[in-house]
């Protein structure tokens, strides 16, 4: 399955319009390296909020960058938009949030200050993003998604 540049631009507009419709004023966009960076960068520009990148991979080397100041910001009221290219199995988002929860020593992580956006959302798993462009059901469709930036 091809996710072209035109698809991406359509997705940016859809997600941006849905974010604006909620009225949420995000303080920061957080892009998960590598796939989430393209969407995160575009949303950061469109929303006019800073971009922070974080390395959190469960494959391709498994690099995981624990970030202690983001959970602190979240708990003091900062609203972040966490961005990934695809919420497929949900494990990347799940383990990152668990790490932030473990880093939040004074009080539980205020998850209500975190929203999730992605180009694709697999409806056959537990993590439900707040904003997405397209859905896929991995119980029915195992086809690999070829994102234009991976070429």
- Residue ranges and CATH numbers for the domains of the chain are 2-150 (3.40.50.2020)
Per-10-residue mean pLDDT for the chain, 151 residues long? 96 98 97 92 98 77 70 93 94 89 81 97 95 96 92 85
- For residue 31, the model assigns a pLDDT of 95
Cβ contact 119:11 at 8 Å: yes
Q: For residues 118 and 39, is the Cβ–Cβ distance under 8 A? A: yes
Summarize pLDDT for 18-27 with one digit per residue, the tens.
Answer: 999 999 999 9
Give the pLDDT of residue 123.
96
Q: What is residue 16's predicted lDDT score, i.e. its pLDDT? A: 98
Distance CA 136, CA 117 (A): 15
Give the residue carrying structure tokens 């949420």: 24
CA distances from 110 to 50, 76, 79, 82 (A): 20, 9, 10, 14
H or E element in which residue 15 lies = helix 5-22
pTM for this prediction:
0.91
């Amino acid at each position: 399955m091809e996710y072209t540049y035109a698809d991406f631009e359509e997705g940016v507009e859809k997600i941006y319009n849905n974010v604006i419709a909620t009225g949420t004023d995000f303080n920061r966009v957080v892009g998960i390296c590598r796939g989430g960076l393209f969407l995160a960068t575009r949303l950061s520009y469109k929303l006019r909020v800073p971009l922070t990148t974080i390395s959190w991979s469960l494959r391709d080397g498994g690099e995981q960058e624990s970030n202690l100041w983001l959970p602190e910001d979240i708990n003091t009221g900062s609203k972040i938009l966490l961005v990934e290219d695809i919420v497929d199995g949900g494990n990347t988002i799940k383990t990152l949030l668990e790490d932030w929860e473990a880093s939040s020593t004074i009080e539980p992580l205020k998850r209500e200050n975190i929203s999730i956006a992605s180009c694709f959302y697999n409806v056959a798993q537990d993590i439900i993003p707040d904003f997405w462009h397209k859905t896929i059901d991995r119980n029915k469709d195992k086809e690999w998604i070829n994102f234009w930036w991976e070429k």
